[in-house]
Amino acid sequence: MSRWEPNARERLAKAALELYGERGYEQTTVAEIAKRAGLTERTFFRHYADKREVLFDGSSALQELFVNAVAEAPQSAAPIDAVAAGLEAVSTVFVGRHGHARRRHAVIVANAVLQERELIKLASLSAALADALRRRGVPEPAASLTAEAGVAVFKIGFERWVEAAEERTMAQFMRESLDELKAVTAGG
Amino acid sequence: MSRWEPNARERLAKAALELYGERGYEQTTVAEIAKRAGLTERTFFRHYADKREVLFDGSSALQELFVNAVAEAPQSAAPIDAVAAGLEAVSTVFVGRHGHARRRHAVIVANAVLQERELIKLASLSAALADALRRRGVPEPAASLTAEAGVAVFKIGFERWVEAAEERTMAQFMRESLDELKAVTAGG
DNA sequence: ACTGTCGATGTCAGTGACTGTCATCGACGC
DNA sequence: GCGTCGATGACAGTCACTGACATCGACAGT
C-alpha cells in the first residue's frame, strides 16, 4: 500500500483540463486544480513547470514520433515526402481521440497565452524536423523551409480535422493540406 | 512646459531593451525598467500590457504594411506573388536597422517566453495575410497555407539577414528563401 | 485672472503564479 | 529493526500584474 494515490500527474492534467473548460483558464487558480486532484499547489509545480504546461504533456512524444518517421523514410524519398511520412505517422495516434482533442483545442483557442505555448511547441517540432532532414543530407535553408512547410500543413490539417465531424481520418486532412500547399507554391 | 518629460513610452522601450541585454530578461524587474526611464512600475503597465510586450512595439505597424502590400498587388498576381510583394515592402523598413534588430533578436532568442510572444505575433500576421488573400478571392485552405508559407519565408529570411553581415539587403534574403521554398515543395 | 475638466502619472493595497527550504513518513533494501 | 530515498506537505518570500483613488500641470471657456 502506497502512501499516496497513484497517478498524481495524470490526475492533475485531468483536473486542469476540466477546470479550464468549466470556468476558463484565467479564472482557474493552480490551487483549485491541485485541490480537485487531491494535492497541493506545490506538488502541481513539481509535475508541471507552469500553469500552461499541464495541457501539453504528450507533445514531446508526438515530436519524437514525427521525427523518427522522417528519419526512417526511404533515402530515395524527397525531403517533402519524408515529411509526408511523418504526417501519416502522427495522424495514427489521434485515432479515437477526436473528442479529447476537441475539448483541449477549444480551451487553447480561447486563451492567447495558451496559444503562445502551443506555437512554441510547434516551433520546437519544426526545429527537430529540420535537424532530421539535415541528417538525411538536406542542406540549409531547404531543411528549415521544408520543416516549416510541414508544420504549416500539420497545423492547418489539425485545425480542419478538429473542427470537422469525426468520420474522416486525420491522415486524409493532412494529405489534402499538403497537396494544397504544393499547388499554391507551384510556379514562379 | 510640461509636467513630465515627453516620450515616456519610448524611454520605457529603450530602458527595457538595454536591461534585458545587460542582465537578461528574467533577471530584470519591471520596477528597474521603470526606474531607468524615470517612471514607476504602474506607469510601465499603462503603456505595455506586460513585461514582454515592450519589445514588440512596432509589430502591428509591420503587419499593416505587409497586409496592405498584399492587398494592393495587381489582381493578376498569383497569391504567392502577392505575398512576395508583401515581403519586399516589409524589407524596406529594416534598412539601416541591422544593429538594433540584432540586439533585439539576441534578447528574444535567449528567452523562451519572449520567443512565444514573437511566435504569436507571427501567427497574427499569418491570420491577417490569410484574410487579405481571401479578400483577393483566394479560397481556403489555399489562403491560409499561402499565408503560412509567406510567414515561414519571412521568419527564415529574417533570421539569416540578422545573423549575416550588414552588406546584403533583407529583400535579397527574402527572395532567396522564397525561391528555396518553391523548389522544396515542387513535384509530387 | 478664475475655474472646471482632462490626461498622464504616482501611491498603495491586493491577488496569484512560481520558487526555495525544510519537515514528514511510507516503501524498500539490508 | 534501521537507514535511505522519494513523493508530498507546509510555509515564507518575490515579482508580475490590477484596481482604486489622489495629484497636479495644461488647457479651454468665461
Range A133-140 contact pairs with CB under 8 angstroms and sequence separation of 24 or more: A133/A70, A133/A79, A133/A82, A133/A83, A135/A71, A136/A70, A136/A71, A136/A73, A136/A75, A136/A79, A136/A82, A138/A79
Percent over 90 (pLDDT), chain A: 94
CA A7, C1' D5: Å apart? 19
Chain A residues whose beta carbon lies within 8 Å of the beta carbon of residue B80? 184-185, 187-188
* Number of neighbouring beta carbons within 10 Å of residue B99: 9
Residue partners of A88: CB distance under 8 A and separation at least 6:
A69, A171, A174
What pLDDT was estimated at residue A59? Answer: 97
What pLDDT was estimated at residue B1? Answer: 66
Per-residue pLDDT of chain B (188 residues; tens, 9 = 90+): 688 888 999 999 999 999 999 999 999 999 999 999 999 999 999 999 999 999 999 999 999 999 999 999 999 999 999 999 999 999 999 999 999 999 999 999 999 999 999 999 999 999 999 999 999 999 999 999 999 999 999 999 999 999 999 889 999 999 999 999 999 999 65
What pLDDT was estimated at residue B33? Answer: 98
Chain B residues whose beta carbon lies within 8 Å of the beta carbon of residue A81? 188
Cell output for B156:
527564415
Least confident of A31-35, A166-170, B41-45: A166-170
Residues 135-174 of B with CB under 7 A from strand D: none
* Distance, CA of B167 to CA of B180 (rounded, Å): 21
What pLDDT was estimated at residue A95? Answer: 95
* Distance, CA of B154 to CA of B87 (rounded, Å): 7
What is the C-alpha R_g of chain B?
19
CB–CB contact B112 A120 (8 Å):
yes
Chain D: positions less than 7 Å from a protein CB are 6-12, 15-20, 24-26
CB–CB contact B181 A149 (8 Å):
yes
Cell output for B14:
529603450
pLDDT digits (tens, 9 = 90+) for A53-70: 999 999 999 999 999 999
Residue partners of A52: CB distance under 8 A and separation at least 6:
A113, A114, A117
* Distance, CA of B138 to CA of A146 (rounded, Å): 23
What pLDDT was estimated at residue A188? Answer: 57
What is the C-alpha R_g of chain A?
19
* Distance, CA of B120 to CA of B53 (rounded, Å): 11
Q: Mean of the per-residue pLDDT values for chain A?
A: 96
CA B2, C1' C8: Å apart? 11
First to last CA, chain B: 69
Please, what is the Cα angle at B30 between B27 and B36, to 5 degrees?
Answer: 95
* Distance, CA of A124 to CA of A129 (rounded, Å): 9
* Distance, CA of B114 to CA of A121 (rounded, Å): 14
Distances (CA, A) of B2 to B6, B11, B30, B34, B42: 8, 16, 25, 19, 20
